[in-house]
Amino acid sequence: NMIEDIFNIIAKSAPSIRHELSTRRGSSNTQNPTGDSQLAADIWADNLFAEKILELDSVGLYASEERENVLTSGDGFSVAIDPLDGSSNLLSNNMIGTIVGVYDSILPTSGRNLIAAAYVLYGPITTMVTAYSGSVNEYVVDQGNLRPLRKGITLPKKPQLYGFGGTENDWTPKFKKYAESIRNEFKPRYGGSLISDVNQILTYGGIFAYPALISSPTGKLRTLFEAHPVAYIIETAGGLSSNGDVSLLDLSPENLHDRTPLYVGNKTLIEELSNL
Ligand code: AHM
Ligand code: MG
């Protein structure tokens, strides 16, 4: 199966990523196309994935948060990747991840053209979560091999957590009001890497948001590399995603590195937000 081949290549790369991180935490004195400063590890991981993924016959296009333009190698699926998500967490030794979206179209394109998505979480243990063909599964990555942990994951019915990015005085009045109501009911958990924050929503239920900011109306996170794959996983697990208006999967970014406000989690919580 061509999709499983892509998942397996990502899993196979996880042990070397973990191994190399300790020596690549320094700055590379460069910026990525959205203006984040890059660490040596960001560039190294991007090159590793580009090489491994384009070797697959089934993949024809590789796009990454860490490079301006796509790489192509003929016909096939398009893979969009955030090689090291939350890399600012490397210095403080908090969690980071790798995010992958597999599209049946050239990029950029609508999230409706995703046919699979996955992420690796480099936590106390390395896990991988995949969404494909209607189901979300979690694996332990054991020496590069995928060992099933949980099959057919759905969001817990009773939400427990919330995590909101950005500083409060940069939030819009509408989002501040929403945050007030959520805070009284649920526990705060914000880790600063999208993947760890989303994985705990998938595990305990709740809402994660990186909202529209006054200083940045499109928020921080990138549509193709972060929002689409996360939305695909959360929606496949029975949750909802939104940019404040429509599902993140309905967004068709004009440019590869466009950003979007991001709200994902339990259906009831995302609906409340959209009805404000
Ligand atoms: P990165 O992929 O370049 O590391 O940046 C994205 C990260 C997300 O993982 C996380 O949700 C967000 O940026 C955290 O931002 P902040 O530092 O503003 O809390
Ligand atoms: Mg990221």
User: Is 90 exceeded by the pLDDT of residue 9?
Assistant: yes
Burial class of residue 192, CB neighbours in 10 A (0-12, 13-18, 19+): middle
- 86 C-alpha to ligand 1 centroid (Å): 5
Give me the pLDDT at residue 99, please.
98
Question: pLDDT (tens digit, 9 = 90+) per residue, 58-107?
Answer: 999 999 999 999 999 999 999 999 999 998 999 999 999 999 999 999 99
Give me the pLDDT at residue 93, please.
94
User: Is 90 exceeded by the pLDDT of residue 241?
Assistant: yes
Using most ligand atoms within 8 A of CB, pick from 30, 49, 85, 257 the residue to mutate for ligand 1.
Answer: 85
Question: pLDDT (tens digit, 9 = 90+) per residue, 256-266?
Answer: 999 999 999 99
- What's the CA gap between 179 and 193, in Å, rounded? 20
- 83 C-alpha to ligand 2 centroid (Å): 8
Let me know the angle formed at the C-alpha of 218 by 123 and 254, rounded to the nearest 5 degrees.
Answer: 100
Mean of the pLDDT values across residues 34-42? 92
**What angle do the packed helices 2-21 and 40-54 form, to 10 degrees?**
150
Question: pLDDT (tens digit, 9 = 90+) per residue, 178-237?
Answer: 999 999 999 999 999 999 999 999 999 999 999 999 999 999 999 999 999 999 999 999
Nearest atom in ligand 1 to 89's CA: 4
Give me the pLDDT at residue 242, please.
97
Q: What mean pLDDT, rounded, does the chain reach?
A: 96
Residue nearest to atom 2 of ligand 1 (CA): 85
Longest distance between any two alpha carbons in the chain, whole Å: 53
Residue nearest to atom 18 of ligand 1 (CA): 166
Give me the pLDDT at residue 101, please.
98
Residue nearest to atom 11 of ligand 1 (CA): 194
**Band of the pLDDT at 275, cuts 50, 70, 90?**
confident
Residue nearest to atom 5 of ligand 1 (CA): 86
Give me the pLDDT at residue 22, please.
87
- Tell whether ligand 1 has an atom less than 6 A from the beta carbon of residue 235: no
**Band of the pLDDT at 274, cuts 50, 70, 90?**
confident
- Tell whether ligand 1 has an atom less than 6 A from the beta carbon of residue 86: yes
User: Is 80 exceeded by the pLDDT of residue 276?
Assistant: no
Using most ligand atoms within 8 A of CB, pick from 31, 95, 226 the residue to mutate for ligand 1.
Answer: 226
Question: pLDDT (tens digit, 9 = 90+) per residue, 94-147?
Answer: 999 999 999 999 999 999 999 999 999 999 999 999 999 999 999 999 999 999
Give me the pLDDT at residue 26, please.
87
